[in-house]
A = this chain, B = another copy of it.
Amino acid sequence: MKVTIRDVALKCGVSVATVSRVINNSDQVTDETKKRVMKVIDEFGFIPNTNARGLSTRSTNTVGIIVPNVSNPFFGELIEGAERAASENGYQIIILNSGYNTEKTLRDIMVLQSRDVDGIIMSTADIDEKTLDHLHENEIPFVLMGPIQYKYPVNYVSVDNMEGARMAVEHLVKLGHKKIAYCTEKYDNYLNQLRYEGYKKAFDSNGLEIQKGLYLEDSVTENVKNIISMNKEERPTAIFAFNDNIALSHMEALERNGIRIPEDMAVVGFDNIRFASYFSIQLTTIDNRQEEFGKKGFEILLDILKNDGTKTQQIVTKPQLVVRKSCGSK
């Protein structure tokens, strides 16, 4: 049977209130009794029940994290950063996997609500207006990982996506590329929009025109089939991929078709996932490691919780170009 605060109190010959005071180390209990109670707590292996505690204090020292895919190391890093920061502050995290599904995301939020989490950290990948409305109406403290547009200001932390894309494409332009494909995967969202803006900006500021037919948003196989079917005139000499995963799968498919990287095709990604640095891959990309963001995200949340959450914070970090070998430079 589970040992409760009452068992401890009984054994010590004190009241539950006193035991409660001891485990919350209140200063209004004698050292002598504190010691006595502690001894019994140890002896009994008493662990205070967090749920009961939360029920009475309305705070569970828990924050929820919702990501689209836990097995994607990109999000794994985000979680790790947040978990570490949380842990250091005596908070625990509950992780939910939304599977890139907005419906499930909303359900996940309710699950977290039903557990009295103090706040939520979420990736923007699977959030829609309805979800934001729900968060707003229910006055749930939350921080988003990624940029967002909404009728009210929200807390978020993100890299400057437009600028990152611009830098990536600028890098290609500086290397002499003029036909640069934009490869994505039907990411019909704000993020894609921002990065595409950056892509355009790089062209504009260099007085270049974007070729027709180089916005590729089908499956990788389709895109690559498309590319190899182009004649020398049309075929891009470089690819800017929406993210590293897309870059890598395109690289793989291209190589399978005898197109060498970087000799025949330069490639830049976005995110700088861990594998991008692997010797045999060596992807040039924009740094967007999530661990730091996870940490920052939690800190903002904590700030909201401790102080009051009246003002929102937006943190946008400056992107960094990581030059490796996939563009042939260096």
Contact = CB atoms under 8 A, between A and B. Distances in A.
Contacts of A80: 69-71, 97
B248 A115 contact: no
Contact of A279 (B54, B72, B252): B252
A327 to B, nearest CB: 16
Interface stretch (A31-39, A106-114, A167-175, A264-272): A106-114
B49 A114 contact: yes
B48 A51 contact: no
A93 B96 CA distance: 8
Interface in A82-103: 83-84, 87, 92-97
Contacts of A110: 47
A227 interface: no
A281 interface: yes
Q: Name the residue among A51, A96, A114, A291 with the largest chain B CB count within 10 angstroms.
A: A51
Number of chain copies forming the complex:
2
Given A49-B116, A76-B73, A138-B45, A252 B275 contact: no
Contact of A95 (B51, B93, B275, B280): B93
A92 B76 contact: no
Contacts of A111: 50, 92
A316 interface: no
B72 A278 contact: no
A138 B1 CA distance: 9
Contacts of A248: 278
A155 interface: no
A50 to B, nearest CB: 4
Nearest to A137: B45
A77 interface: yes
Given A70-B70, A252-B279, A94 B97 contact: no
Given A73-B76, A79-B71, A50 B114 contact: yes
Contacts of A71: 73, 76-77, 79-80, 291
Contacts of A84: 97
Interface in A214-238: none
A251 B281 CA distance: 12
A51 B57 CA distance: 12
A279 B257 CA distance: 11
A55 interface: yes
A52 interface: yes
A278 B279 CA distance: 13
Contacts of A60: 51
A256 interface: yes
Nearest to A93: B95
Q: Which 4 pairs across A and B sit closest by C-beta, in order of nearness?
A: A71-B76, A51-B51, A252-B279, A280-B280
